[in-house]
Chain A
Amino acid sequence: MILSKILKNGFLILAACLVLTACATKKEVAAPDVSGQMQGDTYTGTDTVNYLADGVPDRVFFATNESILTTASRETLRAQAAWLRKNSNINVVLEGHADERGTREYNLALGERRANSAKDYLMTYGISSDRISVLSYGKERPVDAGSTPLAWSKNRRSVTVKAN
């Protein structure tokens, strides 16, 4: 009896919701970049970047929801691989991160996927998987506290950190 009442009311509210959500598109559209520090919605600037060695940036950036490496990211990782080959005693942790615009648990998985994407690339350039571990922080450790597309782009990253 009560159930049927719930359902009845549910339908009324549902009707209102349908009106609200009508004519929406599926994919979130990236805001146009005004900073000159993004390509699409991937960060291309150097604000937050540290260096493992001269000419070896420590991090790569990702587009929203993506774990695909951009051309610039692959270049960075090749530099990291070359540096790791030269410094064979150094092991690294790849720390994967997501921006704040996603649910916590999914973002933990996404951070792990991003770090693995970087790990796979380092491995194709001859770095043994024994030397690389992966750690996801999800959205827990942003570098930029802002709530803007630019801040989010800096936070979608995989950072290579010396483990020893």
Chain B
Amino acid sequence: MKKNFLILFLIILIPINAFALIEVDITRGNLNPLPLAVSPLSIDNKSKKSFEKILKKENIGSEISTIVENNLKTSGLFNPLSKEAFLQAPDIANLKPRFEDWNLIKAQALITGKVTYVDEKLRVEFRLWDVLVAKEMMALAFTTVPSNWRRVGHIISDKVYERLTGEKGYFDTRIIYVAEEGPKTQRKKRLAIMDQDGANNKFLTLGNELVLTPRFNPTSQMVTYLSYFKNLPRVYLLDIETGTQEVVGDFPGMTFAPRFSPDGKKIIMSFAKDGKSDIYTMDLENRLVEKITNHPSIDTSPSYSPNGKFIAFNSDRSGYQQIYIMKSDGTDVKRISFGNGIYGTPVWSPRGDLIAFTKLHKGKFYIGVMRTNGKGERLLTENYYQEAPSWSPNGRVLIFYRETKTNAKGEGFSAKLWSIDLTGYNERLVETETDASDPSWSSLLSN
């Protein structure tokens, strides 16, 4: 199942006494990102030539350190310093950094490492140093197939992030989304998948039919989404590795708004019939379908709590779209959104404590979060149109999509992915090859 992830294994090189060293506080908008130096991974000439041949990369050591640098920078918590200021050569730095040199350029942390080609494998070791107290904080080595080199960069980033913030990272992850092209009135939409940093983009469908709202299962091997195949909007299941697709359930009408349960065993979705939409689950093993809500209103956008005991959903039973939660068997329905405006797309945080949502108020769209009892509403970003937040696996970042207003002639439409920290800081455009919408963030691929 996770076969290609298992190729990658970790060896801890040196146990290090844990001192209270550098620590980065990620609970506030970080206006002073930690200055750190990512020294290019050193590489011997023989390995360099081998990788040049296999991967068509001139210096794989620098390439991997660039990935680490970009990831750390994008997080908004770190400020990777310009390599031009580095005084020490990569190979020497990895053996024993001259801390006063790194101190001089104001680096508080230093990442060094070494790449070698061993038995047709890529071996990377890296070390994280605290410059101020002149200590090694972490040392790890990885061995994997050479084609996994980008993932090595992401895993190093995750390890550094975790060591310095105390929380799991989110760099060795992927985003599934809908790639959009063409005029607004006849949009062509395809499922696409890419690494969290935009690399390795791949289209999963051809664009012959409209596809919407893809979402990963917990292991990030399967995707559930809506397809208009044969002009029948239905929830589908796609195995990313094999490309196998199947329709979910046998409903006499439109099924939509699918998501997996946290154990991956069920799909929860809406089924629309006769002008009302209710929430259903289907067990993927025994194919049993269960009706969860039964109300003449529109009930949609269901999202499980991480422990699987509750479901947040969107309903207009009060007259307007609002957010509700209920037990997973459909009992104990409670409205939780009571602020001004209308609320949609509730998504439960992987930490369990917050629900992210889209809000429309006075003609503006907001992405926000509230606690699961509806208290503590915080709006993170305001725009002409934006919706569909999806959580990073560590619950620190949200990715969503934003659409532009067209001009008087109906021109100038675009849809793009954006990310923002839970703090409301560090809003960033996520670059994609085409226009993009409906992003869904995978779990951490290596754990």
Contacts and interface: CB of A to CB of B under 8 A. Distances in A.
Contacts of A69: none
B183 A145 contact: yes
Given A5-B27, A101-B385, A140-B212, A25 B340 contact: yes
B27 A9 contact: yes
Nearest to B298: A109
A113 B296 CA distance: 11
Contacts of A91: none
B388 to A, nearest CB: 7
B231 interface: yes
A100 B385 contact: yes
B357 to A, nearest CB: 9
A6 B210 CA distance: 40
Interface residues of B, number: 66
Given A5-B27, A9-B28, A101-B385, A106 B314 contact: yes
23 contacts: A2-B26, A5-B27, A6-B422, A10-B378, A13-B424, A17-B377, A21-B339, A21-B340, A101-B360, A101-B363, A104-B387, A105-B300, A106-B316, A106-B321, A106-B344, A108-B256, A112-B253, A113-B272, A117-B275, A141-B185, A143-B185, A145-B406, A146-B406
Interface string B1-40: 0000000000000000000000001111000000000000
A82 B210 CA distance: 33
B320 A65 contact: yes
Contacts of A136: 233, 254, 272
Interface of B: 25-28, 166-167, 183-187, 210, 212-213, 226, 231, 233, 253-254, 256-257, 270, 272, 274-277, 298, 300-301, 314, 316, 320-321, 339-341, 344-345, 353, 358, 360-363, 368, 376-379, 384-385, 387-388, 403, 405-406, 408-411, 413, 422-424, 438
A104 B272 contact: no
Contacts of A7: 376
A104 B403 contact: no
A25 B340 CA distance: 7
Interface in A90-126: 100-106, 108-110, 112-113, 116-117, 120
Interface of A: 2-3, 5-7, 9-11, 13-14, 17, 20-21, 24-26, 28, 65, 67, 100-106, 108-110, 112-113, 116-117, 120, 134-136, 140-148, 151
A105 B257 contact: yes
Contact of A112 (B272, B362, B388, B405): B272
Contact of A14 (B28, B361, B376): B376
Nearest to A120: B275
A140 B379 contact: no
A2 B167 contact: yes
B298 A135 contact: no
